[in-house]
Chains A and B, each alone.
Chain A
């Protein structure tokens, strides 16, 4: 599947999310197009991670309340994912997520992919292994770890771990990818490698990437949203990201 034209895949209206008494997102309305990475920018605590976790309803796990509407374009139609009857498991399988720090299970490299895949898809052993091969190729891990799949996942380097996380989530054949500061815990070189991978994959998947670095956004994004204390304050396209970056530098409000 290659996304040729820009098509909207995400639309939120008056999205408000809070934890207990604290409001994390305050009336966010935005629409995003597929066909290129969409970046979410902002300082820590501005609500970008919360926004990302709303899209696979992961905030529910942490006792958040959510109001407003969120629609995702999946399976050829718009789905209202905040509807009370939403099948959360199905939603989370279709919306893949990679976290800020690599979170592998303390088992072998192969099992990190195979266990969740078998549990959620019900595929046979052979098909699972084929799928694993495919996603490891996709994340450029096959050449590096293909010969030592039985070693513990935690023995890999940080960048490899993060790519394994990405592979694990690709194995479930998601339709949308969410990445929460995927390079924040990595060194410069490993981070760049992931960035290249993401740019490459953004041709096949609608993708949202949280970043706290405008410079990274400039390298990655087709479009970007800037969050500030729970609200979206700017919508930027490819051209205006650079200008915004400059302005922030001049006025001194950038990080």
Chain B
């Protein structure tokens, strides 16, 4: 073999190995620092509802639940909207309008998270504060609404690409059968594209769980169980940011790394599920 051939191969292999090593390194560092907590008996304390660092209680259960509530709320906001936008863009809306909406959604995915947070903090939050007594405005509802809008483009764009692929294969058949556009979308194309749509929803979910800024800026960050939509919550991601920023003791750090591990595993679970779904139904929705 020529020397340059071998050399260029080595270069590409190295780049690929370094890239894969990044994932391993992230994982290894998280586990390395979280291990004392996970291996020792402290994880029971970790899963308690108590977060009182000054009395050596490091329960992160409120944050786990907070993340869950917030994510579910965001999904409840985003999914119906996304379904509507997908339908509108894939044939229900008039052509130019559909194109414009699609371009707009694309553009939305480029708006910085922190801008959403900043604007909401000075519009939505005061609005909630003045209209619902007893609330500071920094609450589950505010964060959920904005987070819903944040993950909307993710869901719409991935979902639309799945729909379009199915549409190319089936729309002529549907027209030939005499189905109207609405009928074919609802009865044929949506069901046929479900693996891609599922992947879209899952990736949106992952995005919502992993987002830090919205929760940090809008959710109030009190480590408690929310009693209503207007209560303040703290998510896992915001928890990490707050604890690392305020620099408390090393025990608190460990709980943070446990939280990091948990987030990494959630991402991995979503990732593998999406991979499986696409592998199994690869014919209709390969990559996205």
A and B touch in the complex (CB under 8 A): yes
Closest B residue to A87 by CB, please name it: B1
A89 sits at the interface (CB 8 A): yes
> Residue of B at shortest CB range from A86?
B1
Q: Which residues of B contact A87 (CB under 8 A)?
A: 1-2
Chain B min CB distance to A81 (Å): 15
Point out the residues of chain A lying under 8 angstroms from B247, CB to CB: none
For the complex formed, measure the closest distance between the CB of B132 and the CB atoms of chain A, giving whole angstroms.
60
Bound CA–CA A89/B1 (angstroms): 8
Q: Which residues of A contact B5 (CB under 8 A)?
A: 89
Chain A, 68-109, CB within 8 A of any chain B CB: 87, 89
Shortest CB distance B282–A (Å): 13
Which A192-250 residues have a C-beta within 8 angstroms of B?
none
Q: Can you name the residue of chain A whose Cβ is closest to the Cβ of B4?
A: A89
Bound Cα distance from A89 to B2, whole angstroms = 8
Query: How far is it, in angstroms, between the C-alpha of A193 and the C-alpha of B5 when the chains are bound?
Result: 38
* Cα-based distance from A89 to B8 in the complex (angstroms): 14
In the assembled complex, the CB of A193 is this many whole angstroms from the nearest CB of chain B, namely 37
Closest to B2 in A: A89
Residues of B contacting A89 in the complex (Cβ-Cβ under 8 angstroms): 2, 5
Q: What 1/0 mask marks residues of chain B from 1 to 31 whose CB sits below 8 Å from any chain A CB?
A: 1100100000000000000000000000000
Instruction: Give complex CA distance A55, B2 in Å.
Output: 20
When distances are taken between beta carbons in the complex, the residues of chain A under 8 Å from B1 are: 87
Query: Binary interface profile of B, 133-155, with partner A (CB < 8 Å = 1, else 0)?
Result: 00000000000000000000000
Chain B residue nearest in CB terms to A89: B2
Can you name the residue of chain B whose Cβ is closest to the Cβ of A85? Answer: B1
Cα distance, A75 to B1, chains bound together (Å): 19
The digit string for B227-255, where 1 denotes a CB below 8 A from any CB of A, is 00000000000000000000000000000
List B25-49 residues whose CB lies under 8 Å from chain A. Answer: none
A136, B2: Cα distance in complex, Å: 30
CA of A183 to CA of B1, assembled, Å:
35
The complex places the Cα of A28 from the Cα of B43 at a distance, in Å, of: 64
| Distance (whole angstroms) from the CB of B2 to the closest CB of chain A | 6
Interface residues of B (CB under 8 A from A): 1-2, 5
Q: Which 4 A-B pairs have the closest CB atoms?
A: A89-B2, A89-B5, A87-B1, A87-B2
- Chain A residues in contact with chain B, CB under 8 A? 87, 89
4 pairs from A and B in contact (CB 8 Å cutoff): A87-B1, A87-B2, A89-B2, A89-B5
